Amino acid sequence: MPGDEVVEDELLAGPRGRRFLAELAEWRLAPEERWSLQAWAGLAMGRHSGDDLPSDLRGACLEQLQQLVDRVDLHALVGVRWPEELLEPLAASVDSARYWQDVDAIDGVLADPRAVEVLRPLVAPVLAAPATAWWRDDVDRGLQQHVDWLWGSPAGRQAPVLTGGRRALRDQREEETVREAQERREHPGLARAPWSGAWWSSPSHVEGVVATSPVLEPPRSEEVLPVGLALVEDASDDGRAVLRPLRARSDARVLEIHSARAWCDLVEAHPREVTWSRGLDWQLSTGWAGSWVLPDWASVAREWDGVHLSVLGHLGVSGRLLTTTVTGEQRGALAPGPARTLLAGWSPGQTFWLTDALEAAGDAQRWGRDEQWRGDLGWSLAEEGGPAEGHRPRLSR
Reported confidence tier of residue 380, pLDDT bands at 50, 70, 90: confident
pLDDT, tens only, 214-253: 988 755 455 567 889 989 987 766 678 899 999 999 999 9
Which contacts qualify for 2-9: CB closer than 8 Å, 24 or more apart?
Answer: 2/258, 2/259, 2/261, 4/124, 4/127, 6/259, 7/127, 7/312, 7/316, 8/120, 8/123, 8/124, 8/127
How far apart CA 20 and CA 42 sit, in angstroms, is 18
| Helix/strand/coil percentages in the chain, nearest 5 | 40, 20, 40
Confidence of residue 14 (pLDDT cuts 50, 70, 90): very high
The answer to whether the beta carbons of residues 316 and 11 sit under 8 Å apart is yes
pLDDT band at 158 (very low <50, low <70, confident <90, very high): confident
What is d(CA 309, CA 316) in angstroms, rounded to the nearest whole number?
11
Give the sheet arrangement for strand 254-257, strand by strand: 210-212, 351-353, 306-309, 254-257
Distance separating the N- and C-terminal Cα atoms of the chain: 30
Mean pLDDT, to the nearest integer, of 200-211?
94
The CB density around residue 74, as the number of other CB atoms within 10 Å, is: 14
In this predicted structure, the answer to whether residue 397 has a pLDDT above a threshold of 50 is no
**pLDDT mean over 192-214:** 84
Instruction: Tell me the whole-structure pTM to 2 decimals.
Output: 0.90
The backbone region for 102, taken as left when phi is positive above 0, alpha when psi lies in -120 to 50, beta otherwise, is beta
SS (H, E, C) 204-258: CCCCCCEEEECEECCCCCCCCEEHHHHCCCCCCCCCEEEEEEEEECCCCCEEEEC
Please provide the size of the chain in residues.
397
Distance (Å, whole) CA 320 – CA 267: 14
Task: Please give the share of the chain, as a percent, with pLDDT higher than 90.
Answer: 53
pLDDT class of 32 with cuts at 50, 70, 90: low
Average pLDDT over residues 258-276: 95
What is the structure's pLDDT at 94?
95
Mean pLDDT of the chain: 84
Segment 42-71 mean pLDDT: 77
The confidence band for 102, taking pLDDT boundaries of 50, 70 and 90, is confident
Better-predicted residue by pLDDT, 130 or 277: 130
Q: How many CA atoms lie within 13 A of 63 on its CB side?
A: 9
- Cα–Cα dist 384/366, whole Å: 8
343 versus 37: the higher-pLDDT residue is: 343
pLDDT at 182 over 90: no
